[in-house]
Amino acid sequence: MAFMLLLETLTPLDRAVFLLREAFDRDYAEIAPIVGKSEAACRQIVSRARTQLGRTERPADFVADVARTEPLVARFTEACRTGNLSELLALLTEDAVLYTDGGGKVKSRLKPIYSALYASRFLAGISPHVFQEAISRPAIVNGLPGMIQRRPNGVLTINAFAFDETGTRIKAIYIVSNPEKLTHVPSP
């Protein structure tokens, strides 16, 4: 999740070039036509991305005051549990993004869900299957306010939230239910 947060600091083009080079070990000659850039431009993009990802401080928009955001996380959890669409919409920024990671082991969305409306509809729609009888507790997840959930079927899920600059609305939700990534997490 921490690496995913770091990747979010890159532009989509920079992220694509960086991952093709670093994760998939593609040559710049292969990457250039895929992204419509020259080989030299791709080298520069990877260099810039390495520098960006090498920074140790977090971007300001990922920092949240846990004491102030914990009640919002509780409201979010309750809205998900009840499938309350209007409450979910009130808690999310217009441009909110929902990311899920089931690792191919647990059913999840393969692509991010963009906008408060679509994310809220998705969460309200899965509420009866995921949230209604889950046991949850607040937690700090990679420095972000979050929660740990255990579903009735035994699936363990970690949720982390990035807030807007005012700390009053959620702008990103990261849901990880990939069991391989959660072996160290105690059940709630």
What would be the CATH architecture of the domain defined by 2-57? Orthogonal Bundle (1.10)
Dihedral Cα 159, 136, 72, 76, nearest 10 deg: 80
**pLDDT lower than 50: segments of the chain:** 56-63
Predicted model pTM? 0.66
Q: Where in the chain is the domain with CATH 1.10.10?
A: 2-57
Yes or no: domain 61-181 corresponds to CATH 3.50.50.60: no
Tokens of 58: 């977090």
Give the pLDDT of residue 42.
92
Give the pLDDT of residue 56.
38
Q: Where in the chain is the domain with CATH 3.10.450.50?
A: 61-181
Between CA 149 and CA 158 the distance in angstroms is 6
Cβ of 71: how many Cβ atoms within 10 Å?
10
Give the pLDDT of residue 5.
65
Tokens of 4: 């995913």
Whole-number CA gyration radius for the chain: 18
